[in-house]
Chain A
Amino acid sequence: MSNIGSYEEKYTSFHWKQAEDELQYGKNGMYNIGYYCSDYLCEKGFGNKQALIWEGFTGEVKNFTYDDLRIFSNTIAKFLQDNEVNVGDRVCLFMDKIPELYIGFIGILKMGGIAQPLFSAFGEEALFTRLDDAKTKVIITQKKHLGKVRRIKDKLPGLTKIIVVDADQSSLQTNEIHFWMEKTEQVDNFDIVKADPEMPSVLHYTSGTTGKPKGAQHVHASIIAQYITSKWVLDLRLDDVYWCTADPGWVTGTSYGIIGPWVCGVTQVILDAGFGTEKWYAFIQKNKVTMWYSAPTAIRMLMKEGLDVVKKYDLSSLRHLASVGEPLNAEAVIWSEKAFGRPFYDTYWQTETGAIVITNFPGLKIKPGSMGKPFPGITATVLNPKTFEPITTAGTVGLIALKPGWPSMMRAYWDNKETYDSKFKNGWYVCGDRSSIDDDGYFWFVGRDDDVINTAGHLVGPFEIESALIEHEAVAEAAAIGKPDPVNMEVVKAFIALKPGFEKNDDLELGIINFIRKRLSPLAMPQEVEFVPSLPKTRSGKIMRRLLRAQEWGEEIGDISTLEND
């Protein structure tokens, strides 16, 4: 029997207040996520239980109990306070998937800071854009990423301290301080900021079609939704060993890689190593993972290696699998049943929603390829793109939209009210994705409603790539689109017109590709460059990205009446 029991019954009877009561949210005036992920569990008698089993790429293993989590997060919180970090200050976590990242996140929340996790593979331009926008006060990083921070710090006057978790003070410069989590004097008692449910907690950056990346700002009350969705969708139970493969630089890695599992009191395992099919299976076998939350790209990479390699490992501990980030194709669902004896359950949500909103549920029939149904407490529909009225005809494609008001919904885009307001139409929050709903109420994903590129489950903004491309000495103008890819769903393709004096060749193409990888991130790196004499533009000079995308996908080009005549 799954935790949720009857979906239909829960969908008609559930109210978020039930989740609040179950979690005892607000007990003694306490609303802080940091408390509910550590001290709360210790008070409930789980202090000696394993909270985190971490394994590095060399095979090194570290274990942390819930009491360790409580004490180390206290220690980090106190260290931040001692370094003049105040309530509401933005503290960036820029690290690989090491214990300090996970425990540091809890520590920041405990002292009232706003945690701003950023993907450690970001290049300096991507890092600068996000730190500059958030006016980040402190960054916590590792020695290996310090070079990127140093190259931009002079352009960030608000960045007062750089905390390095694995360096000696003697190797550091002005305003850089070392902090060894496990060697610093431990803080057993810390006065956790009780917080207001609406107090900002986490700032996650996400990309749009135009403009700079936007910081989706969440609040402490988000834990209500993260708790109950972890329980009912991921089906987390106290005896689970849970593995979420997402990096906390992205929202899945915090909502379900930190908050969800820990508030549910489960043991979570982390592998800080690059992808490797046998490495992953061996990790599951070794740790007897019971619940596995991963991404379609990873599943398709496993599929490529076939079924024989699966048989080399004892994966019988797995009892529930789920997937997030991009639509899970029917073939992957069917393959996972053959490989692991159970399907991956597709879940749909986004940075802005903070928690799962449309999903497949344990115990509810899966229609392979479908996104599933709305979570109890969520009112979801598809809207007519012109009138923004709900579509009532089954099978008609429209814009996925949600009635505002669930606890984990973003409360703002950081310092960008105009864009935030533009996400709401006719009383609905519009997700930016298109789908249809069938006669049984299942949602079927169709695609994005804008030019944002979804590569391996991560959204990449074409504008940010194009802006970086034209900073290359050889590039006159550029356009970036997503092109179909069998593993990653989409990868970035760049169209480039060169400046006079430059000629296309292999070295230049590879140089441009690496230029973007280093400035932005590997995800934003074009996997193909097409050199063109010029780019199609409107009469007003705007690049017609839509035209390039339609050509690439073999779709109807549509209205080109505004195309500039060369």
Chain B
Amino acid sequence: MSEEVKKMIIDYVKKEYLEEDSAMEINEDTKLISSGIVDSFSMVSLKMFLEKKFSIKISDDKATPEAFDSANNIIHLLKEYTTI
């Protein structure tokens, strides 16, 4: 299940935050926030995507740049809210 969610997150990041013709490879460890792929403002839209997808509400104190900095980190965060 985690693998499917990881893929879903990576696909979403590629679709929404990378240029269409970007050759950048993204994997589960790719830095998303600290690399600038997803800036701290855009992190809000990634958070919304996850909240809507999993019908959860991620609290502000958990929604840190570090928690969103890779697909693996996001999985770790989601596990606090849901069984994936």
- Does A533 sit at the interface, judged by CB under 8 A? no
Residue from the list A148, A273, A304, A525 in contact with B36, Cβ < 8 A: A273
Q: Which residues of A contact B65 (CB under 8 A)?
A: 274-277
How many Å from the CB of A354 to the closest CB on chain B?
26
Using an 8 Å CB-CB cutoff, how does the interface string of B34-70 with A read, 1 for contact, 0 for none?
Answer: 1110111110110011001000000011001110010
Report if B33 contacts A (CB, 8 A).
yes
Encode contact with B along A181-209: 1 for CB under 8 Å, 0 otherwise.
Answer: 00000000000000000000000000000
Report the bound CA distance from A509 to B45 in whole Å: 10
Task: Tell me if B16 is interfacial: C-beta within 8 Å of chain A.
Answer: yes
Q: Are A144 and B45 within 8 A (Cβ)?
A: no
Contact A147 B21 (CB under 8 A): yes
B42 touches A517 (CB 8 A): yes
B residues 19-41 touching A (CB-CB < 8 Å): 19-22, 31, 33-36, 38-41
A523 to B22, CA, bound (A): 23
A274: B residues at CB distance < 8 A: 33-36, 38-40, 65
Q: Is A510 an interface residue (CB 8 A)?
A: yes
Is B39 a contact of A96 with CB atoms below 8 Å?
no
- Total number of residue pairs linking A and B with CB closer than 8 Å: 71
Closest to B42 in A: A522
Interface string of A500-519 (1 = CB under 8 A from B): 00000011011001100110
A148 and B22 alpha carbons, distance in the complex (Å): 11
Contact across chains for A517 and B69 when beta carbons are under 8 A apart: no
Which residue on A lies nearest to B66, using beta carbons? A276
Q: Are A276 and B48 in contact (CB under 8 A)?
A: no
- Chain A 258-292 against B: per-residue CB contact (8 Å), 1 yes, 0 no? 00000000000000111111110000000000000
Question: Which of B20, B33, B60 contacts A275, CB < 8 Å?
Answer: B33
Contact A273 B66 (CB under 8 A): no
Asked whether, in the complex, the Cβ of A510 is within 8 Å of the Cβ of B69, the reply is no
Please indicate the chain A residues that have their CB under 8 angstroms from the CB of B19 in the complex.
Answer: 144, 147-148
- Chain A residue nearest in CB terms to B44: A527
Q: B38 — which chain A residues lie within 8 A by C-beta?
A: 274
Q: Given A121, A272, A513, A518, which contacts B39 in the complex, CB threshold below 8 Å?
A: A121
Chain A CB within 10 A, most for which of B22, B31, B33, B36: B36
Q: Is the CB of A96 within 8 A of B36?
A: yes
Query: A147-B21, A456-B41, A522-B41 are known contacts. Are A278 and B66 too (CB-CB below 8 A)?
Result: yes
Q: Among B22, B44, B61, B69, which residue has its beta carbon within 8 angstroms of that of A525?
A: B44
Q: A450 at interface (Cβ–Cβ under 8 A)?
A: no
Interface residue from A301, A304, A510 paired with B52 (Cβ < 8 Å): A510
Contacts of B61 in A (CB 8 A): 304
Q: Are A273 and B69 in contact (CB under 8 A)?
A: no
CB distance from A120 to the nearest CB of B (A): 9
Give Cα A513 to B69, complex, Å: 21
* CA A144 to CA B31, docked complex, whole Å: 16
Residue of A nearest to B35 (CB): A57
Please determine whether B49 and A510 come into contact, CB atoms closer than 8 angstroms.
Answer: yes
A275 to chain B, nearest CB (A): 5
Chain A residue contacts of B44, Cβ below 8 A: 525, 527
- Given the complex, which residues of A lie within 8 Å of B49, measured CB to CB? 510
Q: Please, how many angstroms separate the alpha-carbon atoms of A274 and B20 in the complex?
A: 22
Q: Which residues of A contact B35 (CB under 8 A)?
A: 57-58, 273-274
Residues on A with C-beta less than 8 A from B16 are 514, 518
Chain A residues with CB under 8 Å of B33's CB are: 274-276
Contacting pair A517 B45 (CB below 8 A): yes
A305 to B66 Cα, complex, angstroms? 11
A456 to B43 alpha-carbon distance, docked (Å): 14
Q: Give, as a whole number of angstroms, the nearest-CB distance from A69 to chain B.
A: 24
Q: How far is the CA of A278 from the CA of B67 in the complex (A)?
A: 13
Residues of chain B within 8 A (CB-CB) of A96 are: 36
CA distance A274 to B37 in the complex (A): 9
The chain A residue sitting closest to B68, CB to CB, is: A274
Known: A304-B61, A514-B16. A276 touches B45 (CB 8 A): no
Within the assembled complex, what's the spacing in Å between the Cα atoms of A5 and B32? 45
From known contacts A144-B22, A513-B48, infer whether A279 and B42 are also in contact, taking CB-CB under 8 Å. Answer: no
Q: Are A305 and B64 in contact (CB under 8 A)?
A: yes
Q: CB-CB < 8 A to B22: which residues of A?
A: 144, 147
Residues of B within 8 A of A275 (CB): 33, 40, 65
Task: Choose from B20, B45, B66 the contact partner of A510 (Cβ within 8 Å).
Answer: B45
**Per-residue 0/1 for A408-446: is the Cβ within 8 Å of any B Cβ (1 yes, 0 no)?**
000000000000000000000000000000000000000
What are 11 inter-chain pairs, A to B, with CB distance below 8 A? A57-B34, A57-B35, A144-B19, A144-B22, A148-B19, A273-B36, A275-B33, A301-B40, A304-B64, A510-B49, A522-B42
State the A residues within 8 Å of B (CB): 57-58, 96, 121, 144, 147-148, 272-279, 301, 304-305, 456, 506-507, 509-510, 513-514, 517-518, 522-523, 525, 527
- Report B's interface with A, CB cutoff 8 A: 16, 19-22, 31, 33-36, 38-42, 44-45, 48-49, 52, 60-61, 64-66, 69
